[in-house]
A = this chain, B = another copy of it.
Amino acid sequence: MTFDIKLAAAQAKAAKNAIANLSQAQRLALLLSVAKGLRENVEPILAANKVDLDNAKESGLSDAMIDRLALNADGVEAIAKAVEEIAHQPEVLGSINNIQPLPSGIQVGKMRIPLGVIAMIYESRPNVTIDAAALCLKAGNAVILRGGKEAQASNKALASVLHSALEAQGLPAAIATVIPVPDREVMQEMLTLSESIDLIIPRGGEGLIRYVSTNSQIPVIQHFKGVCHLFIDKDADLDKAIPILENGKTQRTGVCNALETLLVHVDVATQAMPKVAALFDEKGVKVHACERAIGYLSNAEFATKEDWEAEYLALEIAVKIVDDFDTAVTHIQEYGSGHTEVIVTENLASSQRFMREVNSSVIMLNASSRFSDGGQLGLGAEIGISTSKLHAYGPMGAQQLTTEKFVVYGDGHIRV
């Protein structure tokens, strides 16, 4: 008895107007009801999570995976708080921008509207189930959630919180569908349902994202890895550069906005590299260095092509001394993943060229790559960081789950 995803997607499509046309007050009530439901159901949620954890241990999942899977009472409270924050964010729907009178006499503007039905494909973390649902609902979309097999029981418990909240507001359960048995066949079929589903967002390992992108007949917004670069320019202030390097590489290593490659302009190498080396020694950062950089560093290995492409997600970094600004930009264009790149410089022309010519989703001048997330960039909660250029590039909040239609006001106008 496999899950009928085609039927579920058709039901989501049929339900999408119900969520799209809620008033602000109704949508607020719905999201607050989800938060309340989470708090009232801590016990069943944790009990379900324990089932997943026991299964995970039995089947020998890695400690890192188990860590991502585990919930406790504080964790559930944090999820509830996140839903409340999303609930209280400014409204994203219905605004009409930039109404202009045109020569024909009509007036034209653009109104922000939901996308329709969004399907989210993700792995172990159960909090994504609620975060993603809350952001989709905030933006007026129906949502289909396909979490990992290892979080199946937790997701089922969270789904029942979502459904109770929808029911309490008199809304169809199909607005938020949690796929109960996340087998591969269901996902494969889901990727073909372009009549019902408007957008697929895969989050997880590179393999999953490539699989979805290659096989989907529905638009996909990819959230690939972050191979983030810091370029210390010849005119860098090292009192800014070294803390930005430390913050980017060592504050949290397992996140996509951590630094993975350091590029140092050759003209500043003799001043910068001893400070860089001291920082890496102090923090225990493993280094893969180019021929010119390796002499400055203790215990560094020669960097290979794989290092320039690596997302270490660990206390590990690739370091290269470059001859000039252009070489730095070319290196980033060749090996960057379109996520976040940083320049440290006091030179106005270099800063302007970097901001203009490097087309990753977030470009920073004299600021840490760690600012590259929705909350830090002023978007509120995020559903992920898009490295796809289409539709949304960079951190995606509720607004990036909407689109705009043209609205035209006439008074009997016809075209001549």
Residue of B nearest to A359 (CB): B113
B251 lies within 8 A of A365 (CB): no
A364 lies within 8 A of B213 (CB): no
A246 — which chain B residues lie within 8 A by C-beta?
414
Assess whether A394 is interfacial by the CB under 8 Å rule.
Answer: yes
A194 — which chain B residues lie within 8 A by C-beta?
213
A403 lies within 8 A of B393 (CB): yes
Partner among B357, B360, B388 whose Cβ is within 8 Å of the Cβ of A21: B357
> Which of A99-107, A170-178, A273-281, A304-312 lies on the face that meets chain B?
A99-107
Q: How far is the CA of A139 from the CA of B220 in the complex (A)?
A: 23
A390 lies within 8 A of B108 (CB): no
Q: How far is the CA of A198 from the CA of B391 in the complex (A)?
A: 12
A376 — which chain B residues lie within 8 A by C-beta?
102, 104, 106, 415
A 399-415 binary contact with B (CB < 8 Å = 1; else 0): 00001111111111111
Q: How far is the CA of A9 from the CA of B114 in the complex (A)?
A: 34
> Which of A40-48, A67-75, A143-151, A236-244 lies on the face that meets chain B?
A236-244
A389 — which chain B residues lie within 8 A by C-beta?
115-116, 198-199, 403
A405 lies within 8 A of B363 (CB): yes
A406 lies within 8 A of B355 (CB): no
A363 lies within 8 A of B408 (CB): yes
A116 — which chain B residues lie within 8 A by C-beta?
359, 389
Q: How far is the CA of A414 from the CA of B241 in the complex (A)?
A: 10
Q: Give A111 Cβ to nearest chain B Cβ, in Å.
A: 7
B94 lies within 8 A of A251 (CB): no
A102 — which chain B residues lie within 8 A by C-beta?
376-378
Assess whether A160 is interfacial by the CB under 8 Å rule.
Answer: no
Given contacts A251-B415, A390-B198, A390-B390, contact A405 B361 (CB under 8 A): yes
Assess whether A289 is interfacial by the CB under 8 Å rule.
Answer: no
A406 — which chain B residues lie within 8 A by C-beta?
361-363, 372, 377, 394-395
Q: Is the interface of A mostly helix, strand, loop or mixed?
A: mixed
Assess whether A302 is interfacial by the CB under 8 Å rule.
Answer: no
A359 lies within 8 A of B405 (CB): yes
Number of copies: 2
Assess whether A11 is interfacial by the CB under 8 Å rule.
Answer: no
Assess whether A33 is interfacial by the CB under 8 Å rule.
Answer: no
Assess whether A368 is interfacial by the CB under 8 Å rule.
Answer: yes
Given contacts A370-B415, A371-B104, contact A365 B408 (CB under 8 A): yes
B390 lies within 8 A of A199 (CB): yes
A21 lies within 8 A of B378 (CB): no
Assess whether A350 is interfacial by the CB under 8 Å rule.
Answer: no
A366 — which chain B residues lie within 8 A by C-beta?
409-413
B115 lies within 8 A of A371 (CB): no
A410 — which chain B residues lie within 8 A by C-beta?
364-368, 371
A405 lies within 8 A of B415 (CB): no
Given contacts A102-B377, A395-B406, contact A413 B371 (CB under 8 A): yes
A363 lies within 8 A of B412 (CB): no
- Extra contacts besides A111-B356, A194-B213, A368-B410 (18): CB < 8 Å: A104-B376, A106-B371, A113-B359, A116-B359, A199-B390, A213-B217, A240-B411, A247-B415, A360-B405, A362-B406, A364-B408, A366-B409, A366-B413, A367-B409, A367-B414, A368-B415, A372-B408, A377-B408
Q: List 8 A-B contacts (CB under 8 A).
A: A21-B357, A102-B377, A106-B376, A198-B389, A244-B412, A251-B414, A362-B408, A364-B410
